[in-house]
Amino acid sequence: MKLNLLFDLGGVIMDIEKARCVAAFEALGLEDAASYFGEFSQQGPFMLLERGDISVDDFHAALRPHLPAGTPDSDIDRAFCRFLIGIPEHRLAALRELRKSHKVYLLSNTNPIMWNSTIRDEFTREGLTREDYFDGIVTSFEAKALKPDAAIFRYACDKLGISPADTLFVDDSQANLDAAAALGFGTALAASGTDIFTDGTLTGL
- pLDDT digits over 126-181, tens only? 999 999 999 999 999 999 999 999 999 999 999 999 999 999 999 999 999 999 99
CATH code at position 27? 1.10.150.240
The model's pLDDT over 57-73, given as tens digits with 9 standing for 90+, comes to: 999 999 999 999 999 99
End-to-end CA distance of the chain: 8
Q: Which domain holds residue 158?
A: 4-15+87-202
| Average pLDDT for the chain | 94
- Write the pLDDT tens digit of every residue in 73-113: 999 999 999 999 999 999 999 999 999 999 999 999 999 99
Tell which of 81, 114, 132 closes a domain: 81
Of 8, 53, 149, 171, catalytic: 8
Give kind and range of the element (H or E) at residue 80.
Answer: helix 73-81
Mean pLDDT value across residues 20-38:
95
The per-residue pLDDT for 93 is 92
- Among 184, 11, 139, 166, smallest CA distance to 83 is for 11
Domain count, the chain: 2
Do 38 and 92 lie in a common domain?
no
Q: Could you tell me how far CA 81 lies from the centroid of its own chain?
A: 12
Q: Tell me, yes or no, whether 92 and 158 share the same domain.
A: yes
User: Is 8 noted as a catalytic residue in this protein?
Assistant: yes
pLDDT of the residue at 194 = 85
Cis, bond preceding 148 (omega within 30 deg of 0): yes
Whole-angstrom distance, CA of residue 103 vs CA of residue 97: 11
Q: How far is 45 from 42, CA to CA, in rounded Å?
A: 8
